[in-house]
Amino acid sequence: MAKEIVLSGIRATGNLHLGNYYGALSKFVKMQEDYDSLFFIADLHALTTHPDPKTLHTNVKNIIAEYLAAGVDPDKATIFVQSDVPEISELYLLLNMHVGIGELMRTASFKDKARKALGIKTDKDEEDIEKEIIGNESNKRVNAGLLTYPTLMAVDILIQKANKVPVGKDQEQHLELTRRFARRFNSFYGVDLFPEPENFNFGGNAVKVPGLDGSGKMGKSEGNCIYLIDEEKVLRKKVMRAVTDEGPKVPNSPVSQPVENLFTLMELTSAPEVIQQYRDAYADCSIRYGDLKKQLAEDILKVTLPIRERILDIQNDDVLLARVIKQGADRARERAAKTLSEVREIMGIKKFY
Ligand code: ADP
Ligand code: TRP
């Protein structure tokens, strides 16, 4: 039987952090063993919020190096850059003809990014935010590329006919839209062309890696990240400065969000008995956050330092990077071209010559 197809990508907006690693990259490494896998760098998606020609290429290069350093193997998986596959851009145009602007405007990630771009406060209600986005006439702009972000992401997935898409929890709504677009296309044309993709988490729930600032998720734009490429000293400092609270005063107190965040990070990096020891210490009020943080930094470094060393080696190996990217682009393009020609045929776009 043919192997199931796995595809995932990360935007070229900066170095990768622990959220990207546990939400996406570490799953890529495991999945490449058993699936027909494609992993790419979403440089076109980066343009929706970071249109900076000075940094884009370096970001793409760094992320490829980070994929390889984390263990994505070009002999097992196809590694490519989104813009190397122009078929994606053409299918993006075609699929947009079946996507409603209303459903795009209601997407949580769009509203969030548009709100940030225009500096609209979070305390307004949804309807007012939507009105401000549409009515905005300042020179700050929410570009149409940001609105159609989910179409482009759906195309990345559908053009490779992927079945499984390993991503973090924040991407689930985009996957839901991808399934909806696939169903809609199939039923509109009466075909069975696109499979409906699903997230993949090795049986567990989608992960959300928290930040060190006590707030929600770790993210590049939140300034609360531990990067895979962080130096040892920098990383220790970040962890030691993580937000906590005054400590439990009575036994078995509920754990506050900032401290729970540190436990969540421990769940990802530390041994179960170590975590239990700190949970017990919290319960009987003997916990010292300084010790917990030292332990956490130690355990994170065990994961990130070997990756960091490999990133530094690979980043300077232009010959290796070019070979990997060329090989990946050729493979990805061949498959994408096949799907695109099927779609053109189905939609009635035919050549006269
Ligand atoms: P960022 O939010 O830092 O800009 P991206 O949006 O480029 O990162 O995300 C790339 C991948 O990493 C996606 O699959 C996303 O779900 C995952 N990811 C990003 N941040 C986290 C996080 N804090 N927890 C879990 N997964 C995450
Ligand atoms: N939207 C994803 C993110 O922000 C990146 C992405 C673009 C992606 N195209 C994709 C992920 C296709 C999985 C499959 O993280």
Among all bound ligands, the one having the nearest atom to the CA of 150 is: 2
* Strand, helix or coil for residue 343: helix
- pLDDT value, residue 178: 98
Res. 132 pLDDT band, cuts 50 70 90? confident
Average pLDDT over residues 10-27: 95
pLDDT digits (tens, 9 = 90+) for 229-265: 999 999 999 999 999 999 999 999 999 999 999 999 9
Instruction: Enter the CATH code of domain 230-313.
Output: 1.10.240.10
Mean pLDDT in residue range 153-159: 98
pLDDT grade, residue 201 (50/70/90)?
confident
Alpha helix ranges (H) inside the chain: 18-20, 26-31, 43-46, 53-70, 86-96, 101-105, 108-118, 126-135, 144-147, 149-158, 172-189, 232-240, 257-269, 272-283, 289-315, 318-347
For residues 156-164, give the mean pLDDT: 98
CA–centroid distance, residue 176 to ligand 2 (Å) = 13
Task: Please give the pLDDT value at position 268.
Answer: 96
Measured in whole angstroms, the distance separating CA 167 from the mean position of its chain's CA atoms is 6
Residue nearest to atom 15 of ligand 2 (CA): 10
Mean pLDDT of the chain: 95
Residue 79: strand pairing partners: 39
> By the 8 A CB rule, do 87 and 336 touch?
yes
What's the pLDDT at 241?
Answer: 96
54 flagged as catalytic: no
Closest ligand to 215 CA?
A: 1
| Cβ 159 vs Cβ 113: under 8 Å | no
pLDDT of res. 281: 97
CATH architecture of the domain with range 5-99+148-207+317-347: 3-Layer(aba) Sandwich (3.40)
Establish whether residue 171 lines the binding site of ligand 1, counting it when its CB lies within 6 angstroms of any ligand atom.
Answer: yes
Closest-lying ligand to the alpha carbon of 207? 1
Residue 273 has pLDDT above 80, yes or no: yes
At 312, list the tokens.
Answer: 């530094």
Each as own residue / partner, the long-range contacts of residues 193-197 (CB below 8 Å, 24 or more positions apart, any chain) are: 193/339, 193/342, 193/343, 193/346, 194/158, 194/161, 195/161, 195/162, 195/163, 197/7, 197/157, 197/158, 197/162, 197/163, 197/164, 197/165
Dist CA 204 CA 275 (whole Å): 19
Q: Give mean pLDDT, residues 288-297.
A: 98
Segment 47-94, tens digit of pLDDT: 999 889 999 999 999 999 999 999 999 999 999 999 999 999 999 999
Tell how far the Cα of 31 is from the centroid of ligand 1, in angstroms.
18
Give yes or no for residue 18 CB within 6 A of ligand 1.
no
- pLDDT at position 8 is 98
Structure-token pair, residue 293: 């943080």
Q: Which of 111, 169, 208, 217 is catalytic?
A: 217
pLDDT score, position 189:
98
How far is the C-alpha of 179 from the C-alpha of 215, rounded, in Å?
31
The residue whose CA has the least distance to atom 7 of ligand 2 is 153
For atom 18 of ligand 1, which residue has the closest CA?
Answer: 20
Centroid of ligand 2 to alpha carbon of 9 (angstroms): 5
Residue 218: CB within 6 Å of ligand 1?
Answer: yes
Which ligand 2 atom is nearest residue 7's CA?
14
Q: Is the CB of 25 within 6 Å of ligand 2?
A: no
Q: Which of 258, 171, 253 is nearest to 214 (CA)?
A: 258
Give the pLDDT confidence of 30-41 residue by residue, as tens digits: 999 999 999 999
Candidate from 170, 174, 207, 226 with most ligand 1 atoms within 8 A of CB, to mutate: 170
At 142 the pLDDT is: 87
Single-letter amino acid code for the residue at 323: R
What does the pLDDT average to over 134-142? 81
- Measured in degrees and rounded to the nearest 5, phi and psi for residue 171 equal -100, 0
Sequence-distant (6+) residues with CB within 8 A of 239 are: 212, 226, 293, 296, 297, 300
- Find out whether the beta carbon of 10 lies less than 6 Å from any atom of ligand 1: yes
User: Cα(153) to centroid of ligand 2, in Å?
Assistant: 6
Other CB atoms within 10 A of residue 223 CB = 9
Q: Ligand 1: distance of its center to the CA of 246 in Å? A: 30
Domain ranges of the chain: 5-99+148-207+317-347, 230-313
* Residue 3 designated active-site: no
Among candidate residues 113, 161, 164, 238, the one labeled active-site is 113
Distance between CA atoms of residues 217 and 156, nearest Å: 25
Q: Is the Cβ atom of 42 under 6 angstroms away from ligand 2?
A: yes
The reply to whether 124 belongs to the active site is no
